[in-house]
Amino acid sequence: MYQVPSRIQPEIEMINGDFKGKDIVSLDQFSVEDLTVLFNHTRQMKRIAENNEPSRLLEGLLVGLLFFEPSSRTFGSFAAAVKRLGGQTIEMQNPEVFSSVSKGETFEDTIQVMEAYTNAIVLRHRFSGAAKQAALAANFVPVINAGDGNNEHPTQTLLDMYTLYERFGRLDNLTGLLAGDALNSRTIHSLLRGLSLYENNTMYVLSPRQLQLSRDDYVSLQDRGIRLIEIHREQDIPKNCDFWYWTRVQKERFASAEEYQKAQSEIVVASPELLKTYAKKDMILMDPLPRVESVDPAVDADERAVYLRSQIRNGVYTRMALLALVLGRL
């Protein structure tokens, strides 16, 4: 009888130039060379999507979208990425209510059931470390981390870095301002990891003191070679940043509404006035979204605001390229 080949691995593997069959759990798996490969294919995927070209690259393949947390952009862009390339999806949102998880099925069993039906699993979960746990539980198909708690969101960072690369033609010698909930924002954590791969990057991190990076994260990132400067007041924003990266306060990470409201009241909002005072003419403003009292909608008309323009669209293109590489079709 035919046996499905097992891919059990003791730990998560580095990409090392070969994406096929690899779990995508952390930015730490990537090298500069791996990112270059991905971005080169992303340009090809952008052409396919923008020209509405029919593609059969993922024809015959099924991708499971298993989302334990709410999502609009990540869920929608992964679904679009699969279907743009001729594949199909099995979609499960809120499985704690709408699956056998509600009957007491373990997380590991849920993963192994989903892998029996699919060629890859895209997972979002509210617990830090869940993506790695899922990758170790899955014996036969790769797992892609679509955000695990306040840990990492690697595919968001891939699209963010591609947005920067597309705009500036480089990912080194950049000065950036990352603002909002540095403590809990997995997108900030992953972006700092990604940019630490490149030389001479300086990142200012603007947040209330209670939402600054954890000391472990701060020391770990500094040790990677990226220059971090923590600031806590609008007046300390430098005027030479190549990009701003604004994030919301992570309400779902707070124990009480009172704690959340206190933190929210101390956040600096990206407004037209803020841009006029501190932003360069040729910088870009990014936001992983959703924005919740973080970016003034009046900023949307500013051409430097790319979150609803190139940034959100790059999410589809980079995920198309990643899926095709991981599934061995490129």
Residue 118 scores a pLDDT above 50: yes
Q: β-strands 243-246, 227-231: how paired?
A: unpaired
pLDDT digits (tens, 9 = 90+) for 90-107: 999 877 666 667 678 899
Confidence of residue 9 (pLDDT cuts 50, 70, 90): very low
Backbone angles phi, psi at 66, to 5 degrees: -115, 100
The CATH number of the domain covering residues in 27-153+313-326: 3.40.50.1370
pLDDT digits (tens, 9 = 90+) for 260-304: 788 778 889 999 999 999 999 999 999 999 888 899 999 999 999
Sign of the Cα torsion 292, 254, 182, 16 reads negative
Q: Where are the alpha helices (DSSP H) in the chain?
A: 32-50, 73-84, 95-98, 107-117, 130-137, 154-168, 186-195, 215-223, 257-265, 272-278, 310-326
User: At 219, which amino acid appears?
Assistant: V
The CATH number of the domain covering residues in 156-309: 3.40.50.1370
In terms of Cα–Cα distance, which of 40, 244, 291 is closest to 158?
40
Active site residue ranges: 73-74, 103, 124, 153
pLDDT digits (tens, 9 = 90+) for 14-68: 999 999 999 999 999 999 999 999 999 999 999 999 999 999 999 999 999 999 9
pLDDT for the residue 202: 98
pTM of the model: 0.91
Backbone angles phi, psi at 215, to 5 degrees: -65, -35
- Where exactly are the structural domains of the chain? 27-153+313-326, 156-309
Whether 156-309 and 27-153+313-326 are alike in CATH topology: the answer is: yes
pLDDT digits (tens, 9 = 90+) for 197-216: 999 999 999 999 989 999 99
In terms of Cα–Cα distance, which of 238, 244, 250, 237 is closest to 307?
244
Sign of the Cα torsion 263, 269, 274, 280 reads positive
